[in-house]
């Protein structure tokens, strides 16, 4: 028997707060993402996993565009990699991650403080299912899982995921260390991977997208995500704190 968890994401902010953020952003008059015809530029979506550090030279020489999730943007910029900040995080903890960033793609429900710190940057916005707006960007509960539809909307047909392995290394992220109280151990391909609920849910969602659309989306992260792709029927949760 294979043991798995059904994970349901719950928003960190109430709908009233989310709508207030959206109203604030709409008043700023920022450009809203529009559907773009397919083009030839490859896209790298980079999360905060340690696998991104191993790929830093490839990212420095990446022939297309790079989207960096949350705090990974500042880290990549510090490593000489030009990147666009990507986030759907509504909490005010996003604001300090915007300092020094020149380009950003943010959900309309992101906090006003983030947009204040990006007032001199090139910023575009998009809506999600969390708010009422025409043609929203659907997806899962994390920024990484909202990125596939956003990438397609902007004309990308060659998308690679770096730093989204979905399991902890020596620390939770390459740019910070967290120890969530609730953690899981996932066994896949005979190896144990330590993660939290958010990473587990994200890896399962991304594996499904990559498996269903392999000519467009590619895993360059490995780790739990790669193991789920390689062992779709046998991976399982073996421990839960």
> What is the per-residue DSSP string for the chain?
-----------SS-HHHHHHHHHHHHHHTPPBP------S--EEEE-SSTHHHHTHHHHHT-SSEEEEETTHHHHHHHTT---EEEE---SGGGGGGGTT-SEEEEETTS-HHHHHHTTTSEEEEE-BTTS--SS-B---SSHHHHHHHHHHHTT---EEEES---S-SSSSSSS-----SSEEEEEETTEEEEEEHHHHHHHHHHHHHHHH-TTTEEE---HHHHHHHH-TTT-EEEEE-
Q: What percent of the chain has pLDDT over 70?
A: 96
Task: Determine the pLDDT at residue 85.
Answer: 98
Q: In this model, does residue 113 exceed pLDDT 70?
A: yes
What is the C-alpha separation between 138 and 37, in angstroms, rounded?
19
The answer for residues whose C-beta is within 8 angstroms of residue 222's C-beta and 6 or more apart is 51, 165
Which range is least confidently modeled, 5-9, 44-48, 81-85, 114-118?
Answer: 5-9
Residue 86: count other Cβ atoms within 10 Å of its Cβ: 27
The residue among 61 and 179 whose pLDDT is bigger is 61
Within 10 A of 10 (CB to CB), how many other CB atoms are there? Answer: 5
Read off the pLDDT of each residue in 106-111 and give the average, rounded to a whole number. Answer: 95
Task: Write down the pLDDT at residue 16.
Answer: 83
This prediction has a pTM of 0.94
Structure tokens at 168: 């902890």
Burial of 241 (0-12, 13-18, 19+ CB in 10 A): exposed
Give backbone dihedrals phi and psi of 29, rounded to 5 degrees, phi first: 70, 30
Q: For residue 80, is it left (φ>0), alpha (ψ between -120 and 50) or beta?
A: left
Over residues 16-39, the mean pLDDT reads 92
With beta carbons less than 8 A apart as the criterion, state whether 128 and 19 touch.
no
pLDDT tens digits for range 41-78: 999 999 999 999 999 999 999 999 999 999 999 999 99
Backbone dihedral angles phi then psi of residue 173, each to the nearest 5 degrees:
-135, 160
Tell whether the model's pLDDT for residue 135 goes beyond 90: no
| pLDDT number for residue 129 | 66
């Amino acid at each position: 028997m294979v043991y798995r968890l059904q994970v349901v994401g719950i928003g960190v902010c109430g709908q009233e707060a989310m709508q207030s953020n959206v109203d604030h952003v709409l008043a700023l008059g920022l450009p809203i993402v529009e559907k773009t015809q397919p083009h030839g530029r490859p896209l790298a979506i980079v999360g905060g996993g340690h696998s991104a550090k191993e790929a830093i030279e490839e990212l420095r020489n990446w022939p297309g565009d790079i989207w960096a999730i949350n705090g990974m943007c500042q880290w990549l910029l510090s490593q000489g990699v030009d990147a666009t900040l990507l986030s759907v995080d509504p909490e005010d903890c996003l604001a300090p991650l915007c300092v020094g960033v020149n380009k950003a793609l943010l959900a309309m429900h992101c906090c006003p403080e983030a947009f204040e710190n990006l007032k001199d940057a090139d910023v575009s916005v998009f809506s999600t299912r969390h708010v009422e707006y025409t043609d929203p960007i659907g997806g899962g509960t994390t920024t990484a899982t909202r990125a596939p539809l956003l990438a397609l909307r902007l004309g990308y047909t060659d998308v690679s995921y770096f730093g989204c392995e979905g399991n902890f290394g020596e620390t939770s992220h390459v740019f910070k260390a967290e120890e969530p109280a609730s953690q899981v151990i996932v066994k896949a391909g005979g190896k144990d991977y330590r993660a939290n609920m958010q990473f587990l849910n994200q890896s399962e969602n991304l594996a499904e997208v990559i498996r269903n659309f392999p000519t467009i989306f590619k895993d360059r992260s490995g780790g739990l995500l790669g193991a789920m792709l390689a062992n779709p029927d046998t991976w399982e949760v073996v421990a839960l704190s």
